[in-house]
Amino acid sequence: MQISTFFVPLADDGRAQDDLNSFLRGRRVLKVGEAFAGNGWAFCVEWLEEGAYVRDGRQSQRRVDYREVLEPAVFERFAKLRERRKAIAAEDGVPPYMVMTDAQMAEAAKPERLTAEVLKAIEGFGEARLKKYGERIMA
């Protein structure tokens, strides 16, 4: 999160307002605070850097668009894994990320054939997940 301040004098000829408005249009603004400062208005703008977003009050990185970062054949396997993950999550009554995260699915989709060894090699996909979900993911 970034903070920028602006001052717009009461006798502004429009330039200070234009600067503020231009800045606001070009940013992902979280909050604008204002206070009267005797001879004008002071503004404090909280904004996000490019590629960031706020979730649960914390700044995080923007989600990855796997269609853009994976090759077409790999993305096709990724999409099939996503459908399987959704079905497994619905069966077990858990959120999809508990079965497998998007990053884990992207790794699992890279080889043409998904095996238990491939799943074991994925960071965060341990023995317990393999035992619980492995067969259904590979089906």
pTM of the prediction?
A: 0.56
Average pLDDT value for the chain: 88
Question: What is the domain partition of the chain in residue ranges?
Answer: 2-61, 66-138
Q: What whole-number distance in Å separates Cα of residue 85 and Cα of residue 97?
A: 8
pLDDT at 55: 54
pLDDT at 44: 94
Longest dimension (CA), the chain: 72
pLDDT digits (tens, 9 = 90+) for 44-95: 999 887 655 555 555 555 578 888 889 999 999 999 999 999 999 999 999 9
Q: In this model, does residue 115 exceed pLDDT 90?
A: yes
Burial 19-32 (b: 16+ CB within 10 A, else e): ebeeeeeebeeeee
Of 64 and 23, the structure prediction assigns the larger pLDDT to 23
Tokens standing for residue 120 = 């074991």
Superfamily of domain 66-138: HRDC domain (1.10.150.80)
SS3 57: coil
